[in-house]
Structure 1
C-alpha cells in the first residue's frame, strides 16, 4: 500500500533507499488514473522501492520548493535527495521499466 505523506512527514519517509513520490490532487483526472498503477507497482517493488503520495491541495510547500507546476508529477528520491522528476501520466509498463532500471543502477 502506498504511503500517504505530508509536507512535514515527507523528509522522514524518503530518508533511506529509493522512494517514488507522487504529487497529486483529487480533482486531477490523470492522477486518478495513475493511482491504481502506483498501487500495483508498490506491490511488485516493495520493499526495495517505496511509493508515496502527497496531496498538493493539502500540502503545497514541498511541491513549491521542487518547482512542480503540473500534476501528476512523480519525484524519485534516493537516500533523502530528489534526483529525477517524471511529469504527466505514465503507463504501468513504462513506470515498471523505469523503476527496474533504478534498482539495478542503485
Structure 2
C-alpha cells in the first residue's frame, strides 16, 4: 500500500483505471485510456491497475464493478465512476481536477 500512496500523492491528477484482462468492458477501455494519456500529456498521469494482481487494493478501495476509474490529486480522491467512459469525459474530469 505504501507504493500506492506514492502513486497518488503527487500534485497533478492521477487517473487510475481498475480492470481485469478477462472483462470485455475493461478491454474496451484500453484504447480509450491510450487516447486520454496522449491528449493530457504531462498534465496528469493515467495508470492501469489489474485487479486480479492487486486484490488487497481492490478490497481496500471497495471496487465492486469493473472497469472503475478514480482520480486522485495530492493523495485525495476527487472523482470516481465505473463503466465504459469516453475519452472526452475522462479528459474533462482530469482537467477539472487540476
TM-score normalised by length of structure 2: 0.88
CA positional deviation for 1:43: 1.3
Q: Which ranges of structure 1 fall in alignment gaps of 5 or more residues?
A: 1-6
Judging by fraction of residues, say which structure has more helix.
Answer: 2
Judged with a 3 Å threshold, the aligned counterparts in structure 2 of structure 1 residues 26 and 8 are, in CA distance, closer, same or farther, namely: farther
Q: Structure 1 stretches (4+) deviating beyond 4 angstroms? A: none
CA positional deviation for 1:98: 2.4
CA positional deviation for 1:38: 0.7
Q: Which ranges of structure 2 fall in alignment gaps of 5 or more residues?
A: none
Aligned length: 97
- Counterpart secondary structure, 1:74: strand
Give 2:66's match in structure 1, choosing from 57, 65, 71.
71
Give the superposed CA RMSD.
1.5
In the other structure, the counterpart of 1:45 is: 40
